[in-house]
């Protein structure tokens, strides 16, 4: 299982009666920081895929390696119950996450699979990198459409 201890951690989070403000719950800032690091790598690959940045095999491979490893970060303590946007301020995590945990976990799994595919091809030329990049972008988007609130 790629999502070790996810449900157990949620139960623990509930038992600890988490505070009502995002600032007091570091998991929210930490998971947002994780996504910022995704973008740090996803952005350069997207720039190359769209022709805004010249393709550079070494840079593409480094970014894809980073993204692969970032998507291996265990999520079990990043999504405690009570940290949804209906319960606290400062997060765009829709409450639907906690009502559809299996699907949320599966969507993370899809990202992990796509990031692995991209890692295998990113340094192999622009066309190969583009083909690997598409499924990664789709996996980000699929989860955001279901589980991330619109930016306010
Ligand atoms: C399984 C679901 C899921 C996947 C896959 C996913 N995201 Fe997200 N993302 C979220 C959720 C939920 C939030 C809102 C988190 C919060 O505000 O607490 C978010 C927030 C973000 C943010 C805003 C972070 C901030 O500063 O507040 C960015 C940027 C982002 N995601 C980029 C990405 C990129 C790029 C990918 C793909 C490489 C990706 N996400 C894949 C669910 C996902």
Question: What atom of ligand 1 comes closest to residue 22's alpha carbon?
Answer: 18
Q: What mean pLDDT comes out for the span 95-119?
A: 98
Residue 3 pLDDT exceeds 90 = no
**Could you tell me which residue, 49 or 12, shows the higher pLDDT?**
49
Which of 39, 46, 134, 140 has most ligand 1 atoms within 8 Å of CB, for mutation? Answer: 140
Residue 1 is assigned to a structural domain of this protein: no
Residue 91 is assigned to a structural domain of this protein: yes
**Could you tell me which residue, 7 or 66, shows the higher pLDDT?**
66
Domain around 114: 6-15+29-147
Q: Provide the domain count of the chain.
A: 1
pTM greater than 0.85 (yes/no)? yes
Question: What atom of ligand 1 comes closest to residue 71's alpha carbon?
Answer: 38
Per-residue model confidence (pLDDT) at position 1: 41
CATH of the domain at 84: 1.20.120.10
Question: What is the band of 152 on the pLDDT scale with cuts at 50, 70, 90?
Answer: confident
Residue 42 is assigned to a structural domain of this protein: yes
Residue 23 is assigned to a structural domain of this protein: no
Q: Report whether residue 148 contacts ligand 1, using a CB cutoff of 6 Å.
A: yes
Residue/partner pairs of 141-145 with CB below 8 Å, 24 or more apart: 142/107, 142/110, 143/104, 143/107, 143/108, 143/111
Q: What mean pLDDT comes out for the span 19-33?
A: 80
Per-residue model confidence (pLDDT) at position 139: 98
Burial annotation 91-118 (CB, 10 A radius, 16+ → b, else e): bbbbebbbeebeebbebbebbbebbbbb
């Amino acid at each position: 299982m790629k999502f070790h201890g996810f449900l157990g951690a949620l139960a623990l989070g509930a038992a600890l009666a988490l505070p009502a403000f995002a600032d007091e719950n570091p998991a929210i800032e930490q998971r947002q920081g994780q996504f910022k690091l995704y973008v740090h790598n996803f952005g350069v690959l997207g720039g190359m895929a769209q022709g805004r940045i010249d393709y550079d095999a070494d840079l593409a491979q480094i970014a894809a390696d980073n993204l692969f490893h970032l998507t291996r970060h265990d999520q079990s303590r990043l999504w405690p119950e009570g940290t949804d946007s209906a319960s606290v301020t400062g997060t765009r995590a829709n409450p639907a996450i906690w009502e559809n945990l299996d699907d949320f976990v599966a969507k993370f799994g899809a990202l992990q699979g796509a990031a692995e595919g991209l890692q295998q091809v990113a340094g192999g030329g622009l066309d190969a990198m583009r083909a690997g990049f598409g499924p990664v972008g789709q996996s980000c988007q699929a989860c955001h459409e279901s589980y991330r609130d619109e930016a306010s």
